[in-house]
Amino acid sequence: MDNRLHDEELIEKIRVKKRELGSQLLILTHHYQKKEIVSLGDFAGDSFELSRKAAADRECRYIVFCGVHFMAESAAILAKPHQVVQIPDELAGCWMAEMADTQTVKSAFEQLESIAGKGSATPLVYMNSDAELKSFCGDRGGVVCTSSNAAKAVEWAFAQREKVLFFPDRHLGHNTGYDLGLKDDEMVVWAADKPLGGNDPEALRRARLVLWDGYCLVHTRFTRDHIEKRRAEFPEAKIIVHPECPREVVALADACGSTSRIEKYVREAPAGSTIVIGTEINMIERLASQYPDKKIIELHRSLCPNMAKISLEKLLQTVENVGEMNVVRVDEEIKAGARVALDRMLALG
C-alpha cells in the first residue's frame, strides 16, 4: 500500500477515536514530534509548557504524551489522581537523561559538601532526567528547571545556598551561568568517574556552579564551522539555537532559546526572513512547511531518534487501548519528592 494512503487511514482512525473520547482525552505533543503527530495533538509545546498543561487540566481522564519518557513521567507526577498518562512507545528515552543516576549524583553531592561544607549547595536538575533524580532534588531543597526557565531556577537556587550542583546538561548549565554573568573560574565541570569530579579542592571551593558532564548528542553535533558556513551562504540570515548547544555555538548565534522560544522567533519574524535553526530536524521541517513565506534552514541535520519512535501506528494503538497500554507509573514515594521539585519549578514560571 502507498505509504501516504496508509498514513491517511491511520490519521482518520485516530480522529474517530478522538471524537469518541471527546474531552476525556488530552493528546500532548512535544515540538520535536513529526508534523502528522503534532497535527493530531490538542497542544504542542516545550517541556515546561507541556508539564504546566498536564498539571492544569482537571477535566480529562487520559493524557497521551507524544514525546520522550522523562516528559511523560513528569506529566504523570503532575497529573491528578483520576488521570492516567500513557506514552505511545515506552522505549522513547533520552540519552542525556541516562547520563546521570541517583547514586552517582548523590555521591557527587556528598563529595562537594565534604569540600565546601554541609548545606553549601542546592541540587538543580534539568527536566531531562528520571523521577528519582527529581525526587532527590525535592528532598534536598532543590528544584527542576527546563530550558525556558533555567536562569530563574539558577537564581532561585543561589538565593538558597552559595553553590549549585546542576545536572545532567553541562551546556545548558554553562550557557545559563554565562548569561547570569558568572566568570569562567566560577563554573567547573564534574566528571562523574573521577574523585571530586576531576577537580582540585580549591577549584571546588571557588566554584559557584558545578556542571555535571552530561550532554545531548543531537545538539552537541552543531559546531562553530556549521555557523560560519551558514553565515557565508546566507549573510542576511538570523541564526537561533537551543541552549543544549555548546557555548561556542551559542556565542556565535543571534538568539538562543527553548523549542517554544524558537517557534515564537520564527512565527514573529517578518515574511521574507531567512532563519537558520540549530535544533532537532523534525521541528525545523515542520516550521518550514508551516511558514512557507519564510526561508527556514537547518544549521545542520540532526535527528532525535528517541522522539522519532512515536509513530502514527503506535499513537493509534494507544488511543485504541486508552487507560491500559503503556501507562506511565511512578513509585508513590518518588512521586512525592519529585512533585515538590516540580511544583517549585512551576511556581517560578
Interacting partner of 121 out of ligand SF4, ligand 13P, none (Cβ under 5 to 8 A depending on kind): none
- 216 is a site residue for ligand 13P (CB under 6 A): yes
- 147 is a site residue for ligand 13P (CB under 6 A): yes
What does the block give as the cell for 123? 541540587
CA distances from 263 to 40, 41, 220, 222 (A): 18, 16, 20, 19
Residue 54 beta carbon to ligand SF4: minimum distance, rounded to whole angstroms = 17
- Candidates 226, 280, 287, 335; binder of ligand SF4 (CB under 6 A) is 280
Interacting partner of 307 out of ligand SF4, ligand 13P, none (Cβ under 5 to 8 A depending on kind): ligand SF4
Residue 15 beta carbon to ligand SF4: minimum distance, rounded to whole angstroms = 27
- Candidates 54, 60, 68, 150; binder of ligand SF4 (CB under 6 A) is 68
Give the integer Cα–Cα distance in Å for 10 and 146: 33
- Candidates 29, 74, 135, 146; binder of ligand 13P (CB under 6 A) is 146
How would DSSP label each residue in 269-327? SPTT-EEEEES-HHHHHHHHHH-TTSEEEESS----TTGGG--HHHHHHHHHTTTTTTB
Return the number of the residue (31 or 208) whose C-beta is nearest ligand 13P.
Answer: 31
Are the CB atoms for 90 and 146 separated by under 8 Å? no
What letter does residue 169 receive in the DSSP assignment?
B
Q: Are strands 143-145 and 163-167 parallel, antiparallel or unpaired?
A: unpaired
Q: Which stretch binds ligand SF4 (CB under 6 A): 170-178, 194-202, 301-309, 316-324?
A: 301-309
- 258 is a site residue for ligand 13P (CB under 6 A): yes
Residues 121-140 that bind ligand 13P (CB under 6 A): 128
Amino acid (1-letter code) at residue 25: L
Residue 221 beta carbon to ligand SF4: minimum distance, rounded to whole angstroms = 10
For residue 295, the cross-strand partners are 274
CB atoms inside a 10 Å sphere around CB 154: 25
Task: Please give the size of the binding site for ligand 13P, defined by CB under 6 A.
Answer: 11
Interacting partner of 306 out of ligand 13P, ligand SF4, none (Cβ under 5 to 8 A depending on kind): ligand SF4
Amino acid (1-letter code) at residue 142: G
Helices (H) and strands (E) in the chain, counts: 15, 13
Residues 47-66 that bind ligand 13P (CB under 6 A): 47
Q: Are strands 238-241 and 209-212 parallel, antiparallel or unpaired?
A: unpaired
Return the number of the residue (148 or 199) whose C-beta is nearest ligand 13P.
Answer: 148
Q: Which residues bind ligand 13P (CB under 6 A)?
A: 31, 46-47, 128, 146-147, 216, 242, 244, 258-259
Q: Which residues bind ligand SF4 (CB under 6 A)?
A: 68, 94-96, 128, 216, 218, 244, 280, 304, 306-307
